[in-house]
Each structure stands twice: as structure tokens, then as C-alpha cells.
A and B are shown apart, each in its own frame.
Chain A
Amino acid sequence: MVADFLPNLISILILVSVVLAIVGAVRRVKLWRQGQPSTIHWAGLLAIPRRYLVDLHHVVSSDKYISNTHVATAGGFVLTIISVVLIYLLGISGSILNYALLTSSALMFVGAVFVLLRRRNPPANLSRGPWSRLPFSLLIFSSSFFVLTLPATGKLPADTGGWMLAIMLLVGIAWGVGEMFLGMTWGGPMKHAFAGALHLGLHRRQERFGGGRSTGLKSLNLQKDKLGVEKADDFKWNQLLSFDACVECGRCEKACPAFAAGQPLNPKKLIQDMVVGMAGGSDANFAGSPYPGVDVGTQPASTYKGGEIIPIIDVLVPAKTVWSCTTCRACVQECPMMIEHVDAIVDMRRFETLEKGQTPGKGAEVLENLKTTDNPNGYAPESRMNWAADQNLAVFGEHVQQADVLLWIGDAAFDMRNQRTLRAMVSLLRAANIDFAVLGDKECDSGDSARRLGDEATFQRLAKTNITTMQQYQFKHIVTADPHAFHCLKNEYQDFGGHYDVYHHTGFFADLVKTEKIKLDNKKELSLTYHDPCYLGRYNGEYDAPRYLLEAMGIQIKEMERSKTKARCCGGGGGAPVTDIPGTQRIPDMRMDDAKSTSAEIIAVGCPQCSLMLEGVVEPRPDVKDIAELMLDALSVQDSPLEISLVETHP
């Protein structure tokens, strides 16, 4: 009696929930379709399994515990669903299928136990609320199907437990199926499985999968009626989809330098606020860490119930939240769902700057200076080469029309500390007999800070001006000591017709050392640590060249705990020093503490911005030296020092 009744009821239950889940899915897709059009990468849908198993898992597996747990739980869940659909909806039966269901639900149960264990004392980065309910739902779902299947496999006699067990199973399955099927498309924690899978397939940056990299900001059409993102529906539809993919694991929160410094930014909450902006609800339901210093549910839209789409800034999200970001990309690197936080932040900054004219702090002044003098501090454009008055540099258009290398100076030209790096670089290039020239006063700021402050118009003007200038001369490579300029020239000028072979000076010098054009004294015994610049490391994947150079000098690098992909930002990116949003501590101080804990006496850097931020930390602290400066100290002078000084160039 019970044995017949139960499967029928379960079939109906599952049928109803599948139908409801489909209804929910359609509603969710409609929410995403509120967004702006963007290329649909249909082929990506076929790559979802591979992207999940390879790309996503590559990120997740940095935490072995949760990656194994997730394999068991998700793998068990998928197999369980397939078996359940086959058995209860399509009516296929057979002992193989029953055993498959038994095994998969057991696997899922084991996984769910580990999920529960991790949530006994959850770390602050994990969300509570519905997410604390999830392990129980997983346990109930898997155990109910396990017990349900036992009689069918003959392990237990049919009718075991009688009505009592039948009702318990029914309740369990109703709960489990409710959480797992309905929650997937109606906005429960399981939403991440549905939206996440589609997001992996339809990701806005398809190049990121299969070991590729895509870090340049997307350019903005300045002719549009609205520039940047004011409301959730101003995002591209696939960005809206990506927000829904968030699992609230809080890895971004752990990695975010602004959050750690007590500035009012939490990347996880930001993404959840975007979901509220798109789907309605209230940020008061958010069950994770708030923006530091901003209580959850205090924004004017904290009781937002959906319906009309509302402006994001100062209604849903405080303006200072989006201006706290240093665009260091640590959150994007850590995100297992490959969500692009920085894109979203810059999109909102674009609206603030281009439409509202509300760049905070010194932002407006810097942008005005870039407009009138092509450098952020408003120095006279014809003073750009003053630093090199004694260097006899060949200038394109004045002394030469072509050279092997275009040496990109950047705004370090105006800064006395970074002029030391530039001088060291010039000496090294001369020691290696490199044919190089500079653009001189015709060089403009690369536009990096303008773009990240949201001023796309100024960025595009600077980019186009620089491209037009460079078009007039012949050179094979560009070399620069500034990773920000390096990133812009290499990745962001392409949209405007600038395709160059760009080197960061560490990469270029590493080649010169390998080919023995520069010989370094390898007996340096320095107690040294290396700080990875975000725009060299996470943005461009260059972790090896600087380390190769330091090791070529005989230095054993004392690596910081946060290094390479996990390196902490110096606080100098994305215009953050300009907007200067207050926190409880300063990001460079935290980074200096990282360096101090290695007991190194020198912190080697490869970025003018990093050297300024880190040198701004009060002493006593390790000395800050650019790799070019260290190399110059270690330059082997055995082949006659005279020869080096005699390499006379122009004019």
C-alpha cells in the first residue's frame, strides 16, 4: 500500500516542482533581459561542463577542503537528479538505476556532512541566513532519497517503517526538492547552480577560459544617451546574469584590500546589492559582512521591494563604496564564479563622473589637469623631459625617426623618487647597448587613472593622442617601468587601433640577462622581499621575470604570505589615492606589515605607484627599491666601466 502510494506521490511532487522551477527560470531570465544587449556567445554553452570542471575548479581548488566537498555534494546532486528524473518522471526502473541513485545520494550526503562541519563555526566571510539552512536541506534531500531507494534495491523490505516513515520521507523530499529545485530559479542559495552554469557559458569575457586572460576594461560608446550605469538595467544582460551566479563564499571579501582597511567596500555585498537592484527585495536580508562602517539596511532603498528599477548610487549603495576600490582585481582573481567586480564598479563610476560630475576627493582636479596639461598633477607639458636634462636621450621626431625600443616614461617623469628608477633604467639600457628613444614632451599620460576614475572621455582622448603620436615613428617594442601604462598600452589601446609589442622593464631586462647582454653580479646578499604590482601580476600574469632578475643577482627572495596571484595591493591603483576614501587603516601600511613579517630589509617593487605608496609608510620600515635600481647596483662592471660611460648617444 505505502510502497505504491509513495512513488506516485513523489512523481507528482517532482513533476510539479520541475514545472515550477521552469516557471521560475523564465522569470529569472526575464530579469536578466532587463539589461543592455551584449554579444551572446552560444558556443560557450557547450563548453559549460569543461569550464566548470577545469576553469572554475582551478579557482576553487585553492581551498582543498571545499573543493572536495563541492565535488561530492554537487556531483552527487547532479547524479541524484538524473536518476530521480529517470525513475520518477520517465518511469524507467531497474536495479542499476536504483543502485546509482543509492550511491549518488550517499555521495551527496557525505558531501553535505562536510558542508555542515564547515558551518559549525563559519568564518566571517561566509554568509549566514539561508546559506546556513542549505547544509540541512542538502542532508534532508540526500538522505530522503537514500532511504526511499533502499526498499527498491531489496536492502530493506518494502513497507518498512509504515506510514510514519512514508510521511517523514514525503516531508523530507518536499523540503529537499523545494530547496534544490525551486530555490534554484526562485532565488534561494541554489540559484548559484542555475545562474552560475549559464554564466560560465555566456560569460562576457570568453577569453578568460582555457587559460586565457582578459583584463582590459571594455570601452564605452561616448555617443550614447546615458554613459555608464545608473540603474541595474543599465548593465549588460550578461553582467546581471553574473551577479546572480554569486555563491556568497566571501573569498573576494577576504582578498579585498579596501575591506581589510576598513573602507566601506565589501565586494560580496556589492554583488548582492546589484542583485537587489535587479530583482527587488532588501539589502536588510543580506546575511554576510556589511560594508565596513555602513550598517546593513540603512540605505534609502533598504526596503526596496522590486518593481521600478531604482538608481544604485546613494540609494542602494553609498557612493564611497564604489570609490574605495583600488581596481586591484584580487576579488576577480579569487571569485570561483568568475564574476567581474571591477567592471561593475568602473561602470558605476563612469555614470558618477561622466553624467553626474561627482568624482570625490581630488578626483575632479586630477581629471581637469589631465584635460588641460595631459598629466595628473597639472605640470607644464613642456617640463616633462626636465628630469632627463643630463641624460642626452634620443627623442623621436627631434633626433631620430626610428629606434628598436620606445622607452615609455610615464608620469614618473614628474616625480623625484621615480626619476631615480628612470635614470637606472636608462643606464641599464645603455649598458646593454639598446637602441632606444623617447617621445619627449609629446608623450601624454596613458589615461589609466582617468579611465579608472570613470572618465572614459579623457581616457579615449589621451589614448588616441598617444596612438597618433606613436604612429609617426618606427619602433619594435615599447618598454616601460610603469605597469599601469604597460597594461593600457598592451591591452586597452587595441580598441582604438594601437597594437604594440609592450614590455614591462622587468620582462625586457630578464631577456637581456638571459641573452647575457646585461651581466649581473650574482653575489648580492640582500635580505629582500618582492611586492607584486597588481597591474603586472594579476592583470598581465607576469610573476616570473622580476623574480628571475632578483635571483640572477643571487638574491633569495623572502616571499610574503600574500604574493603572486594573492599579492595585496599597495593601495595606489584605480585612483584610490586621489579619491582617498577614509578607512580605519591605510592599505600601504598593511602591505608594509606583510613585508615586515618576512624580516626583509628591502622591499623590491616594479611600479612607480607602489614605490610611492610604500615609501609613504612611516619608518622604521624596509627600504623600497625598484628592480631597475637594484639591477644597476648589481651591474657587473668587469667588462670595463669606461666602455659603459662611453656609449654615447644623441645628439
Chain B
Amino acid sequence: MLKDISKTTSKNIKMSVLISVGEHPLSARPRRAEQDARALELGLKLAPESLKILYAGSTGDSAATEVLKEYMGMGIDQLEVLDVPPKTDVTLPLLEKLQQDCPDVVLTGIRAENGESSGMLPYLLSEQLNMAMVPAITDILCIDKTTGFAEVLQALPRGQRRKVKVNLPFIASVDMAAAAPRQSAYGSAMRGHLKIDPVTRTMHDAEQEQWQISPAQARPKRLKIVKAKTAADRFKAATAKVQGGSGKVIYDNKESAEAILKLLKDEKVL
């Protein structure tokens, strides 16, 4: 499974990594976002020379600058910042930037650690840029520019992996199961350079103005009834592949909406 990536990967792969300012779940302090840092680690492994690292956000925030420096502590000389004012949607400036750069691969985290945290950004970008989107990858096995295909490894529950073949160019979000990011070294963090691009066209997010933001409440956990009687049963329950089967594919819009509504009612959400 593990191949030497340098042999199977074409030269001159253009890769962009999108990073964000994360938030520690306990202290709420800004930090390297865990998934984004993994995306960057993957990028540094695959294309250390041609890698472009993009951050879209306000540069006025000194805490954010500290976090960007921490990313640069992973051994990056330069990081491009799209100076997007606060309360402004970052999709449009990122879209324009990526249209200019035309990368073969764009890596992001699955979702941001604060703010909207909707996880929609990679999907919106892939739709607009007409690129494939592969969610929750752990590794890129090979990128072949001549045939225009790449093989990526996708994370599934219970440690399972799935090899996926995808057309170039593509966007992929990186799962927590990917290789842990390298340590951030203070020296290169301090000496790294932020290249700030002013943003011409922005979209003011009027919706956001209205929002009230409060800390997320932990979801109540479903009671887990242990049915297993023996250790062997428990082992099977912990490791066995989840078997599908009960699901069905619905193509009709109305029918699918009804199915969702029924599920929500069954679960007493509505």
C-alpha cells in the first residue's frame, strides 16, 4: 500500500493548502487548527518546493498573526494572506485567488474550529472551480499529471481506509487520521514572511451581522446498550465492518425529503 511517493508522483505538481486559525477546545486560545495543520503536513510531504499556503482572513488581529507564525514554524518561508475584513465571506476572495493560481491539488481541513464551522468551504470552492472534492483523506498515494489522475486514501470509520481515484485538479479535505503535523519551531516561525494580498472584491456577509454566537453545547449522548455477552462479541462489535443494507437510494426529491422528515420525527428532533 505504502509506495514511495517520489517515484509515483509527477514533478511540478502545483499544490495549495488553505489554513485557518483554530481554537483550543478547552482554553479557547487560538492555535494551529488540527486538521489544517495535517493538511499542511501532507502538502509539505508531497510538494515542499511548489507548495502555496493561503490564509484568508483579517490581518489586524495580532492573535491570528501569532497562529500564522506557528504554521510558518513548520518550516515555511512564506505564507500568502488574503486580507479579508472581519465579517466578510472568505469564499469569493479564495475563489479568485485559486482561479489565478490554477493548482492541481487544494488541501483543506474538514471544518474550521470556530466561526461558522460549517465545513462547506471546500464544497463551495469545488463547485465554483469545477474541481472534484474528496472529503476526509489521510494521504495522497500518487499524482500522475500525464494521465490526469491521482490516488488518495480516504478515512472511513473504525480505522478503515478506502483508495479513491480522482481526476486532477481536485480539492481534498484532510481527516484527523492523517499524519500528525510536525512541531512548530520558534526560529522559523519568527523569521517567516507574511505576503499580504489586498482583496479587491469582497462580499459583505449581512446574515452574519444578525447572529449571536454562543459556545456550543455538548450533544446529549445516545445511551449505549451493550448487547455483547462475551469478550469475543465485544471484540467483534469494536472491530467489525459496519454493514450497510438497511439504507436505500432515493432519487426523487420529494420522496427523499419525506424520508428525512420521517427520520427526524422518529428521532424526536421535530
Whole-angstrom distance between the Cβ of B138 and the nearest chain A Cβ? 20
Contact of B26 with A381 in the complex, beta carbons under 8 Å: yes
Taking CB atoms, residues of chain A closer than 8 Å to B75 are 357
Task: Among A364, A379, A457, point to the contact of B186 (Cβ < 8 A).
Answer: A457
Residues from chain B with Cβ under 8 Å of A372 in the complex? 24, 27, 29, 31
CA–CA, A359 to B74, complex, Å? 13
Which residues of chain A are within 8 angstroms of B29 by Cβ–Cβ distance? Answer: 372-373
A227/B187 in contact, CB under 8 A: yes
Asked, given contacts A357-B73, A357-B75, whether A373 binds B183 with beta carbons under 8 Å apart, the answer is no
Say if the beta carbon of B195 comes within 8 Å of chain A.
no
Q: Which of B24-38 contact A (CB under 8 A)?
A: 24, 26-27, 29, 31
User: With A357-B74, A357-B182 given, is the CB distance from A373 to B27 under 8 Å?
Assistant: yes
Q: Is the CB of B31 within 8 A of A455?
A: no
Chain A proximity mask over B175-189: 1 for CB below 8 Å, otherwise 0: 000000011111110
Any A CB within 8 A of the CB of B190: yes
Measured between beta carbons, the chain A residues less than 8 angstroms from B187 are: 226-227, 354-355
A626–B47 Cα gap in the complex (Å)?
54
Return the contact of A222 from the options B26, B188, B190 (Cβ within 8 A): B190
Q: Roughly how many angstroms separate A223 CA and B24 CA in the complex, as a whole number?
A: 27
Number of interface residues of A (CB under 8 A): 24
Residue of B nearest to A378 (CB): B26
Contacts of A46 in B (CB 8 A): none
Docked Cα-Cα span, A456 to B187, in Å, equals 11
Binding site of B, secondary structure by majority: helix, strand, loop or mixed?
loop
Considering the chains assembled together, what is the distance between the CA atoms of A373 and B24 in angstroms? 8
Chain B interface residue number, banded = 10 to 19
B192 CB, nearest partner CB in chain A, Å: 13
Contacts of B73 on A, CB cut-off 8 Å? 357
Whether A357 contacts B27 by the Cβ 8 Å rule is no
Q: Of B27, B31, B185, which one neighbours A356 at CB under 8 angstroms?
A: B185
Query: In the complex, what distance in Å separates the CA atom of A358 from the CA atom of B185?
Result: 8
Determine the distance from Cα of A368 to Cα of B73 in the docked complex, in whole angstroms. Answer: 12
Q: How long is the Cα–Cα vector from A357 to B73 in the complex, in angstroms?
A: 8
A205 proximal to B (CB < 8 A): no
Closest to B73 in A: A357
A380–B29 Cα distance when bound, in Å, is 11
A367 within 8 A of B: yes
In the bound assembly, the distance between CA atoms of A364 and B182 in angstroms comes to 9
Asked if B27 and A380 make an inter-chain contact with CB atoms under 8 angstroms apart, the answer reads: yes
- In the assembled complex, the Cα of A359 lies from the Cα of B185 at a distance in Å of 10
Cα A545 to Cα B155 in complex, Å, equals 58
Give B186-201 as 1s and 0s: 1 = Cβ < 8 Å from A's Cβ atoms.
Answer: 1110100000000000
Q: How far is the CB of A580 from chain B (nearest CB, A)?
A: 16
Cα(A456)–Cα(B186), bound, Å: 9
Query: In the assembled complex, which residues on chain A have CB atoms less than 8 Å from the CB atom of B183?
Result: 353, 357-359, 364, 367-368
A356 cross-chain contacts in B, Cβ below 8 A = 185
Q: What 0/1 pattern do residues 362 to 382 of A give for CB contact below 8 A with B?
A: 001001100111100011110
Q: Could you tell me the distance between the alpha carbons of A457 and B29 in the complex, rounded to whole angstroms?
A: 17
A457 — which chain B residues lie within 8 A by C-beta? Answer: 186
User: B residues 199-244 with Cβ under 8 Å of A?
Assistant: none
**What is the minimal beta-carbon distance from A383 to any residue of chain B, in angstroms?**
8
Report the bound CA distance from A513 to B27 in whole Å.
41
Q: For residues 70 through 117 of chain B, which have their beta carbon under 8 Å from a beta carbon of chain A? A: 73-75
Cβ contact of A354, chosen from B24, B182, B186, cutoff 8 A: B186
Given A222-B190, A355-B187, A372-B31, do A380 and B26 touch, yes or no (CB 8 Å)? Answer: yes
Cα distance A374–B73 when bound, in Å? 20
CB pair B31–A357 under 8 Å, yes or no, is: no
CB closest residue in chain A, given B182: A357
Contacting pair A354 B27 (CB below 8 A): no
CA distance A374 to B24 in the complex (A): 12
Bound-state CA distance A538–B223 (Å) is 55
Q: What 0/1 readout, one digit per residue, does chain A (438-464) give for beta carbons within 8 Å of chain B?
A: 000000000000000001110000000
Given A357-B73, A357-B74, A357-B75; A455-B27 close (CB under 8 Å):
no
Q: Which of A375-400 contact B (CB under 8 A)?
A: 378-381
B185 touching A353, Cβ below 8 Å: yes
User: CB-nearest residue of chain B relative to A367?
Assistant: B183
Q: How far is the CB of A369 from chain B (nearest CB, A)?
A: 9
Give every chain B residue within 8 A of A367 (Cβ-Cβ).
Answer: 183
In the bound complex, residues from chain B placing their C-beta under 8 Å from that of A381 are 26-27
Residues of A within 8 A of B190 (CB): 222
**Bitwise interface map of A from 522 to 560 toward B, beta carbon under 8 Å scored 1, else 0:** 000000000000000000000000000000000000000
Q: How far is the CB of B174 from chain A (nearest CB, A)?
A: 18
Which of chain A's residues has its CB closest to B184's CB?
A357
What is the CB-to-nearest-CB distance from A462 to chain B, in angstroms, rounded to a whole number?
A: 14
A358 and chain B: residue at smallest CB distance: B183
- CB-based contact A355/B188 at 8 Å: yes
Q: Which residues of A contact B188 (CB under 8 A)?
A: 355, 357
Taking CB atoms, residues of chain B closer than 8 Å to A368 are 31, 183-184
Expressed in whole angstroms, the Cα–Cα distance for A608 and B246 within the complex equals: 55
**Shortest distance in angstroms between B45's beta carbon and chain A's nearest beta carbon?**
15
Q: Among residues 221 to 240 in chain A, which have CB atoms less than 8 Å away from a CB atom of chain B?
A: 222, 226-227
Residue of B at shortest CB range from A457? Answer: B186
Q: From A226, A357, A379, name the one whose CB has the most chain B CB atoms within 10 angstroms.
A: A357
CB within 8 Å for A222 and B185 given contacts A372-B24, A372-B27, A380-B26: no
Within the complex, the shortest CB–CB distance from B237 to chain A, in Å, comes to 30
**Residues of chain A in range 258-295 having any CB-CB distance to chain B below 8 Å:** none
**Bound: A354/B185 CA distance, A:** 5
A555 CB to nearest chain B CB (Å): 43
Residues of A within 8 A of B185 (CB): 353-357
| Chain A, Cβ-Cβ closest to B187 | A355
Q: Which residue of B lies closest to A225 (CB)?
A: B191
Separation of A357 and B184 alpha carbons in the complex (Å): 6
The answer to whether A373 touches B26 (Cβ under 8 A) is yes
Q: Which parts of A449-492 form the interface with B (CB within 8 Å)?
A: 455-457
- How far, in angstroms, from A288 to B87 measured CA to CA in the complex? 67
Looking at B24, B29, B73, B74, the one whose CB has the most chain A CB atoms below 10 A away is B24
Closest residue of A by beta carbon distance from B74 = A357
Once the chains are docked, how many angstroms separate the CA of A456 from the CA of B184? Answer: 14
| Bound: A355/B186 CA distance, A | 6
Chain B contacts for A380, CB-based, 8 A: 26-27
- Given A357-B183, A357-B184, the answer on whether A371 and B74 have CB atoms closer than 8 Å is no
Contact pattern, A 199-230, Cβ under 8 Å of B = 1, otherwise 0:
00000000000000000000000100011000
* A372: nearest chain-B partner, CB-CB: B24
Minimum CB–CB distance for A189 against chain B, Å:
39
In contact, B186 and A455 (Cβ under 8 angstroms): yes
- Chain A 146-193 interface residues, beta-carbon cutoff 8 Å to B: none
Compute how far the CA of A330 lies from the CA of B29 in the bound complex, rounded to whole angstroms: 39
Nearest chain B CB to A234 CB, angstrom units: 13
A226 to B186, CA, bound (A): 11
- Given the complex of chains A and B, what is the CA–CA distance between A189 and B184 in angstroms? 43
Q: How far is the CA of A457 from the CA of B191 in the complex (A)?
A: 14
Count chain B CB atoms within 10 A of each CB in A354, A372, A457 and give the residue with the most: A372
Which residue of chain B is the closest to A383 with respect to CB atoms?
Answer: B26
Chain B residues closer than 8 Å to A455, beta-carbon distance: 186
Mark interface residues in B7-44 (1 if CB within 8 Å of A CB, else 0): 00000000000000000101101010000000000000
Residues on B with beta carbons closer than 8 Å to the beta carbon of A222: 186, 190
Docked CA distance A51–B187 (Å): 39
Complex CA–CA separation, A582 to B190 (angstroms): 33
> Given contacts A357-B73, A357-B74, A357-B75, is CB(A227)–CB(B186) below 8 Å?
yes
- A579 vs chain B, min Cβ distance (A): 13
Question: Can you show 8 pairs from A to B with CB atoms below 8 A apart?
Answer: A222-B186, A357-B73, A357-B74, A372-B24, A372-B27, A373-B27, A379-B26, A380-B26
A residues near B, CB below 8 A? 222, 226-227, 353-359, 364, 367-368, 371-374, 378-381, 455-457
A372-B31, A457-B186 are known contacts; what are 9 more A-B pairs with Cβ within 8 Å?
A222-B190, A226-B187, A353-B183, A357-B188, A364-B183, A372-B29, A373-B27, A378-B26, A381-B26
Which 5 residue pairs of A and B lie closest in terms of their CB atoms, listed nearest first?
A: A357-B185, A357-B183, A380-B26, A364-B183, A355-B187
